Structure 1
Amino acid sequence: MFGWFRKPRPLPQATIPPGTRVYVIGDIHGCIDELDALQALIRQDLFLTQADQNLIIYLGDYVDRGPASAEVLDRLIAHPLQNTTPIHLKGNHEAMMAAFLERPEEVGPKWFAIGGAATVASYGVPWRGGMELSRLAEDLAERVPQSHRDFLNSLETYYRLGDYFFVHAGIRPGVPLARQAEADLLWIRNPFLGSKISHGAVVVHGHTPVPAPEELSNRIAIDTGACFTGVLTCLVLEGRQRRYLATNS
């Protein structure tokens, strides 16, 4: 555990319903070693004390950039953490991967610009510059197992519990939480990051890397750039308490 997060302004007294503990995991991006290490920390934490209900919320961006996207999806699907309920949210990178399989010529250049080539390689698909994107998408589609397709199709865009709203990227300020557009939930940075208004819940998000977990009055950011730093972060919520687990850099 660590306590080096920034807290420029005090958070409101947000709470999780009694009897529930929530582990919230930031952007994994194909980093299987960091995921395994963080799950080991959670397993140890659960061994020390358990709540009546233990939720594991993954904030999306499981694929791209890191070397083991396919293996990360295998691990998430297997869900090795006993006595916990997983909730998997969609990130913009999962959306791009799915879109590439449907519209490779349109989406391919954008996807590769944000790390998609690493995902293709993780499935063992030979790829070289100049290869037709439609052919590459066909080859990838043959290698992606049905279990991965089902997993990607099952992802939710947000989850709300108690005084918290969990989402990949953030929300559009001033729009009711129930009426948010999926594009904003997966992609937004500004004006969300610069907003100081109350959103009706404390928004817990990833998507935008921070050097350390960042607690502000209306949001908590926990993407600590695992694929660049080796630090994968988990926010632990229980009642009014907040604490952190993280892998070592």
Structure 2
Amino acid sequence: MGLTYAIPDLHGRLDLLERALREILEHAAGRDACVVALGDYVDRGPNSREIVELLTTWPFPSLRLIALKGNHEAMMWEACNNLVETDWWLENGGDATLASYGGLRMGEALRTLIPERHLQWIGKLPTIYADPHRIFVHAGVDPRLPLNQQNERTLLWKRYPKGSSLGHGMRHVVHGHHANEQGPVVCKGRTNLDVMAWRTGRLVVGVFCDDKAGGAVEFLEVRGNSSAG
């Protein structure tokens, strides 16, 4: 029985990621498994750089990593490539990311502060991953469109209307992005794992059986310090 573990929005909380990975390794009990990270590794929390470094070097041979892009990685990449105003990114948590890279000195360009290999990795992140039973994505999918016709803005920024339980055809959608401290939110067609971990100090990992359709068979929860920020 293959297992896939979905890790939602981390926003700089390396402590929670490290605890989650220990839980996943213990739960997998030596079996090979898949880890899908749903994006938003950077911004808001204190350790964005360290999270990106861990994901780019990934020291767990028994865990196949699929790291997806979140809207915060998109903002970071666009700001560093002068495609959006830097202040827009900074006002949305990018200031914490810059601090994790050592802080920007007067007149210094973003690309001199952030390692090029980090930016290249972010630029190549996929926006969606699908297996026979599920679709993993940062924010959501348009249920009316085939997967190969999805708009990137939808995948990175979508908010599902309150009460919506739509997945995508017969597939269950697993996502983050829509923060809910009381989550995870489990509906017939989708599961939202984002419980605002960077603020609450609580991270919920979904455990999915590769041979079984539908939602998670179980959840792994780790806790750290909450933030007043």
With the length of structure 1 as denominator, give the TM-score of the two structures.
0.81
Q: Note if 1:247 corresponds to 2:222.
A: yes
Aligned counterpart, 1:233: 204
Please identify the structure whose Cα radius of gyration is greater: 1
1:106-146 Cα distance to aligned partner (Å, 9 max, x none): 4223212210110111100236xxx6xxx45x1x3112223
Q: Which amino acid aligns with 1:109?
A: D
Q: How does 1:138-177 map to 2 (within 5 A)?
A: 138=109, 140-177=110-147
Alpha-carbon distance between aligned partners in 2 of 1:113 and 1:107, rounded to the nearest angstrom: 10
Alpha-carbon distance between aligned partners in 2 of 1:83 and 1:96, rounded to the nearest angstrom: 31
Q: How does 1:36-185 map to 2 (within 5 A)?
A: 36-47=18-29, 50=31, 53-103=32-82, 106-126=84-104, 135-136=107-108, 138=109, 140-185=110-155
Contact 2:167 2:173 in 1 (8 A): no
1:176-208 Cα distance to aligned partner (Å, 9 max, x none): 2221100110001145x5534452111100001
Q: Which amino acid aligns with 2:164?
A: S
Alpha-carbon distance between aligned partners in 2 of 1:61 and 1:196, rounded to the nearest angstrom: 23
Shift of 1:171: 1.1
* C-alpha RMSD over aligned residues: 1.8
Alpha-carbon distance between aligned partners in 1 of 2:64 and 2:27, rounded to the nearest angstrom: 15
Q: 1:242 to 1:110 in 2, by over 3 A?
A: same
In structure 1, stretches of 5+ residues that fail to align are 1-18
* Higher RCO by CA contacts (8 Å cutoff, separation 6 or greater): 1
In structure 2, stretches of 5+ residues that fail to align are 225-229
Q: Note if 1:222 corresponds to 2:201.
A: no
Q: Secondary structure at the match of 1:148?
A: helix
